[in-house]
Amino acid sequence: MSSIIRKISLSVLLAGVVFATNSFAQEVPLLDGVTTRAENNPTVEEGKYKKDAPWVIGMSSFGVNANTWTVQVAHEAQAAADRDKRIAKFVLLDAGFDQKKQVADIEDLIAQKVDAIIVQPVTSTSANASIEKAIAAGIPVVLHTGRIESDAYTTEIQGGAEHFGKVMGDFLVKELGGKGNIWVLRGLAGHPEDTNRYNGLKQSLEGTELKIAAEEHGDWQYDKAKKVCETLYLNDPNVDGIWSSGADMTRACVDVFKQFGTPIPPISGEGNNGFFGQWIADGFKSVSSEYSPAQGAAGIRAAVALLEGKALHKHYDYNPPGWDLEKVKKYYRDDLSANVWWPSELSEEQLKQFYAKQ
């Protein structure tokens, strides 16, 4: 690997940041690939949440240890908070996929009188009432990694889950010529991201002759997905393609096919270093949907912008195109573990601290 790739820096990763198009928001970089929603997108009033530093920012995660991606989101958010010396304290609370715990966590942050709250919802309704309480208390709320059935939050940065799922679905439709049987590996049942990614797949399948032969939840986890794929293979190994909602599940399924010595069918993937290594080594057909864990850092930047008194839009969308093998080769790091996700804003030192191969 070239030394250039090993020295990917924060400045390089942010070089392509998309800025909001309105003049009052042009100085708010959020994340490469993020754009303002074109329609029905009100603006948060300039100066509404302006507050002198130092600040305390709280975050309610739906589950820090859910999988390797959520762990890195926490690292990315903490690193972004540490880089801004105006943030005196960053409080990260883990709901552990418990709706009642998330309610208690957000109310705890309100009681601590934090200056802004970032929420990753457990479900589309789990955080609604607590978010409304935060807003009533004058605390801005930034939402990401899951939509909710309320518009009480201040601003949201949402990875386009339907777009993510459709990138994968379109890949399978093209590779299979619109015909055949596919397995569908979904994420965590009930989580809005799982539901909406699946809706993106269904959009791709409309008007085709592709059939879902099997559909199971692997919870975005390697171990569970491996058991699921082993069971599916033993029941009927004849499958034309696999739609996998997350890279840890993709890695698991690839390993199952290799375990049985069978050719790997076209399978969708995601920006995970372990998956990238598999793809490069085994040369199967795939596409990588992008869903950067640096959304954690973007949430910090949005909170800071609000506390600076800047005007933000209510809705920001993150709909980057899929990656091909050539782009994957530019990011893959054989000196790092399978658990790191791309693109990342972690420094080289942090990448080695958290993800150096043991």
pLDDT tens across 323-356, in order? 999 999 999 999 999 999 999 999 999 999 999 9
Q: What are the φ/ψ torsions at residue 194 (nearest 5 degrees)?
A: -65, -45
Would you say residue 248 lies in a domain?
A: yes
Checking if the pLDDT of 5 tops 60, the result is no
Same domain, 229 and 297: no
Checking if the pLDDT of 165 tops 80, the result is yes
Q: What is the pLDDT of residue 195?
A: 92
Mean pLDDT across 80-101: 96
Would you say residue 5 lies in a domain?
A: no
Boundary-marking domain end, from 289, 311, 328: 289
Contacts of residue 283, defined as CB under 8 A and 6 or more positions apart, other chains included, come to none
pLDDT band at 147 (very low <50, low <70, confident <90, very high): confident
Q: What is the pLDDT of residue 27?
A: 52
Q: Which two tokens stand for residue 169?
A: 């679905």
Same domain, 240 and 313: no
Q: Which two tokens stand for residue 41?
A: 């997108």
Contacts of residue 274, defined as CB under 8 A and 6 or more positions apart, other chains included, come to 247, 248, 251, 337, 338, 339
Would you say residue 329 lies in a domain?
A: no
Q: What is the pLDDT of residues 206-236, one digit of tens each?
A: 999 999 999 999 999 999 999 999 999 999 9
pLDDT band at 29 (very low <50, low <70, confident <90, very high): confident
Q: What is the pLDDT of residues 296-324, one digit of tens each?
A: 999 999 999 999 999 999 999 988 999 99
pLDDT band at 14 (very low <50, low <70, confident <90, very high): very low
pLDDT above 70: percentage of residues in the chain: 92
Same domain, 109 and 48: yes
Q: What is the CATH number of the domain that holds 128?
A: 3.40.50.2300
Checking if the pLDDT of 276 tops 60, the result is yes
Same domain, 187 and 229: yes
Q: What is the pLDDT of residues 37-64, one digit of tens each?
A: 888 999 999 999 999 999 999 999 999 9
Would you say residue 330 lies in a domain?
A: no
Domain that residue 54 falls in: 34-159+293-319
Would you say residue 119 lies in a domain?
A: yes
CA dihedral 196, 60, 292, 304 (to 10 degrees): 120
Q: What is the pLDDT of residue 21?
A: 37
Would you say residue 15 lies in a domain?
A: no
Would you say residue 141 lies in a domain?
A: yes
Supply the pTM of this predicted model. Answer: 0.86
Would you say residue 42 lies in a domain?
A: yes
Same domain, 231 and 132: no
Tally the domains of the chain. Answer: 2
243: closest CA among 271, 222, 214, 272?
214
Same domain, 251 and 301: no
Boundary-marking domain end, from 248, 273, 289: 289
Return the ∠ at Cα 280 (arms to 176 and 170), rounded to 5°.
25
Q: How far apart, in whole angstroms, are the C-alpha atoms of residue 171 and residue 187?
A: 19
Same domain, 308 and 284: no
Same domain, 97 and 215: no
Same domain, 276 and 176: yes
CA dihedral 216, 230, 203, 246 (to 10 degrees): 90
Checking if the pLDDT of 237 tops 50, the result is yes
Same domain, 213 and 185: yes
Q: Which two tokens stand for residue 168?
A: 């994968």
With 0-12 / 13-18 / 19 or more C-beta atoms within 10 angstroms meaning exposed / middle / buried, residue 235 is exposed
Q: Output the CA torsion sign for 6, 11, 14, 15.
A: negative
Checking if the pLDDT of 23 tops 60, the result is no
Same domain, 131 and 167: no
**Mean pLDDT (the chain, rounded):** 91
Same domain, 103 and 251: no
